[in-house]
Structure 1
Amino acid sequence: MKLASFNVENLFMRARALNGSGFSAEGREILKAQADVNAILGKDKYTPADKRRILELLDTLGLKKSDESKYAILRQNRGHLVKRPRGGPVEVVADGRDDWIGWVDLTLEQVDENATRNTARVIQAINADVLGVVEAESRPALVRFCKDVMPAVSGTPYDHIMLIDGNDDRGIDVGLMTKKKFNIVSIASHVDDEDEDGVIFSRDCAQYEIETADGNKLIVLANHFKSKGFGSPPVSDAKRKRQAERTATIYRQLRREHEFIAIVGDFNDTPDSDPLAPLFNQTGLKDISELQGFDDGGRPGTFKNGTASNKIDYILLSPDLFAKATAGGIFRMGVWGGKNGTLFPHFPEITKEAEAASDHAAIWAELDI
């Protein structure tokens, strides 16, 4: 059987702040402002300092003069957060969470249709029996993608599709798709897992039990750790380390009853990093890239240009499962490589960066189970 992981970077709708060439400083600022303002808006009482900060963040988001801007939407569903008097300054009129109902959303826009079809081409080409999907919007979006887009590129839709909404309200969740005879037997979500610092996972550490075509049980933990994209590095590093520690604990608990366990997804850090040390140094898990003959095309990374510093997508295997691995590799045909797209081959249908399937390559493993 073939197991794969692919960060599809949303299939249909995507926050406008995330679009464009690469991930811009402006995009990072917008995402951080949206997260920060919603954190303040959730407070029971707004202090004068809170109100000043709310106005600063609304200004960053372009929401001081209107409830809608290029990048964000202020939803005032009941009551009012702000008033905008003619000829006067904008003011926060709510004194706390109980005075109004609403929040700040990010403005979405449709992903390029060619890019969506190229995503389908990647999935068709790797032809995985079990596919971990990162940055998917919802289960209905994955179902629609399989039903409508896969056949458009002569691909075969997946038979079983599952996704549980996680903790990120931007529609970047983790899910799983499997072929016929690879039944999803059980699902467990870890969205509510907490430690002394609060909720652990930025999205989820979704836990799937799969019965393979040969009757074996495979446990897949699909994950998407905290990004380095915004927030000061110590904060994001600490969050990823908490996530790695909790995932390692879940893995050790599962090992008491299961031989074959895989942890897949986008960990947003390199194997030698301190945040990922709990997974790489304290569990005995094996990276599929350690397999003799692993085909990385001469580039160890999975993100953008494929340098070692961009090795952030993984398939980690329990020792018993790694012993069953027969092949593995990185599939880059959906990625636009370098400024001019010339660093490595890609699909001929990708004629510019905006048409790339993703900034992430897919990673795969053949397993004799």
Structure 2
Amino acid sequence: MKIATFNVQNLFHKDKSLFEKPFGKNFTDWVDELDTLMLKTHKSLHQQNRIRELSFLIGFEKSSPRPYAVLRRKAGYLYMKGLSHSIENKASNLTNWNGWIELQTLPIHPKATDHKAQVIAAINPDILLLQEIEDRASFEEFNQLILPKYDFKPYEQSFVIQGNDMNGLEMGIALRQGYNLKAVRTHNINDIINDDGKNLIEYEIKTPSKETIWLLNTYLQKPTKDINQSHLIRKKQITKIAEIYKKLIAEGKTNVLIAGTFNAPSYCDSLSPIIQNTDLKDITKHLSFEVDIDKGNDAAYFRMGAYRMGVNIKQKDYMFFSPALFHKMKDSGLNRKAMWPEKRPDWSIYKTVSNKNLAASEHPLVWGKIEL
């Protein structure tokens, strides 16, 4: 049985708010200019227009992310459903509709989507845990149309749960034939109200050998400008995950795996409730964990917070195994062949990944093979 975790950073389209905004000094200048204009008692028409421009540039005029209408394609026509309106045929020869709708998402390059599939197909996991996918419809399109390009048989089951935000950063699972999803439970691991936290999702799965495993998929607090605050939030999340793990073990559920994007290196104190206070084992510590190592002098270097010697990318994605599963591990590793190495270290990548925009993700796919 091969299990993998992969933060794909969306499949086909990405919310505009998630793209990097390198404002730099411009942003500071805009704020200063707006402050100056707002202090004026009398404002000319030109100054009023400039205030509107600056408000837009700074982000004051961001619309509410709550959709007031949903646009869908059905039988070759576009239908729009509003909050207080029935479904109406809006785009056809009969209605002569020529309206417009602002898109909240931007497309991902098709080659980048192909590279995501290429990475998954190269490892060919029986169970795939996913982070940062748009929705189940997007994954099913990816599953049925993109993965088969690489001689990959589509997954038989998939399940996606809505996260706590509206940015299309959902978590999901895909399973091959013979693996049955028996139960799904969500756990609220957020003590502090924040925009970035996700729930912990627990999957109970029956394997072809009739064994039962419990997989916990999570996406933890990302670093923010307030580092101490983000560490505090993440540590509270990790503490709750550790409590849930200990409860499962106490109930005799010994085949447990915790995976996902933790957004912190292993030496970070925010991860200590799992790393130091449980018996969970990091997959990178298994003797079978092998990866194509860095090129040049970096091959013999072990950067602080990296996955291992010669794999000097900062670890953000983890797979933790209970002792019962860790001792049954037969093989493991990660695939970063579709990641773009902006700076050192450098490593082997697919020839078709020629720039950052064509990379599958900024995260590797981490996998482990267990004999159950």
Q: Taking structure 2 as the reference length, what is the TM-score of the superposition?
A: 0.74
Aligned to 2:95: none
What is the CA-CA distance between 1:306 and the residue it aligns to? Answer: 5.0
Indicate if the aligned counterparts of 1:150 and 1:156 stay in contact, CA closer than 8 A.
yes
Aligned to 2:92: none
Whole-Å separation in 2 of the counterparts to 1:283 and 1:199: 27
Whole-Å separation in 1 of the counterparts to 2:162 and 2:279: 30
Q: How many residues align?
A: 302
Letter in 2 for 1:254: L
Aligned to 2:324: 320
What is the CA-CA distance between 1:153 and the residue it aligns to? Answer: 3.0
Indicate if the aligned counterparts of 2:292 and 2:348 stay in contact, CA closer than 8 A.
no
What is the CA-CA distance between 1:279 and the residue it aligns to? Answer: 0.8
What is the CA-CA distance between 1:76 and the residue it aligns to? Answer: 8.9
Aligned to 1:307: 312
Indicate if the aligned counterparts of 1:336 and 1:359 stay in contact, CA closer than 8 A.
yes
Distance 1:325 1:225, change over 3 A: same
Corresponding residue to 1:240 among 221, 229, 234: 234
- Is the aligned partner of 1:360 residue 2:363? yes
What is the CA-CA distance between 1:344 and the residue it aligns to? Answer: 1.1
Identity of aligned residues (%): 28
Aligned to 2:11: 11
Aligned to 1:265: 260
Distance 1:218 1:311, change over 3 A: same
Aligned to 1:175: 172
**What CA deviation, in whole Å up to 9, does each residue of 1:212-254 have, x standing for no partner?**
11111110000111111x3410111111111101111111111
Distance 1:334 1:202, change over 3 A: same
**What CA deviation, in whole Å up to 9, does each residue of 1:21-75 have, x standing for no partner?**
xx55549x99xxxxxxxxxxxxxxxxxxxxxxxx9995454454xxxxxxx5446
Corresponding residue to 2:211 among 211, 216, 220: 216
Q: Counterpart of 1:156 in 2: which secondary structure? A: coil
Aligned to 1:81: none
**Residues 110-189 of structure 1 aligned to structure 2 (within 5 Å):** 110-189=107-186
Structure 2 residue ranges without an equivalent (≥5): 28-51, 69-101, 295-301
Corresponding residue to 1:346 among 334, 346, 349: 349
Task: Give me the CA root mean square deviation.
Answer: 3.0
Q: Counterpart of 1:258 in 2: which secondary structure? A: coil
Whole-Å separation in 2 of the counterparts to 1:323 and 1:180: 25
Distance 1:277 1:345, change over 3 A: same
**What CA deviation, in whole Å up to 9, does each residue of 1:5-24 have, x standing for no partner?**
111000111123434xxx55
Indicate if the aligned counterparts of 1:193 and 1:199 stay in contact, CA closer than 8 A.
no
What is the CA-CA distance between 1:152 and the residue it aligns to? Answer: 2.6
Q: Counterpart of 1:132 in 2: which secondary structure? A: strand
Distance 1:10 1:200, change over 3 A: closer
Whole-Å separation in 1 of the counterparts to 2:272 and 2:220: 14
Q: Counterpart of 2:289 in 1: which secondary structure? A: coil
Aligned to 1:337: 341
Whole-Å separation in 2 of the counterparts to 1:153 and 1:61: 43
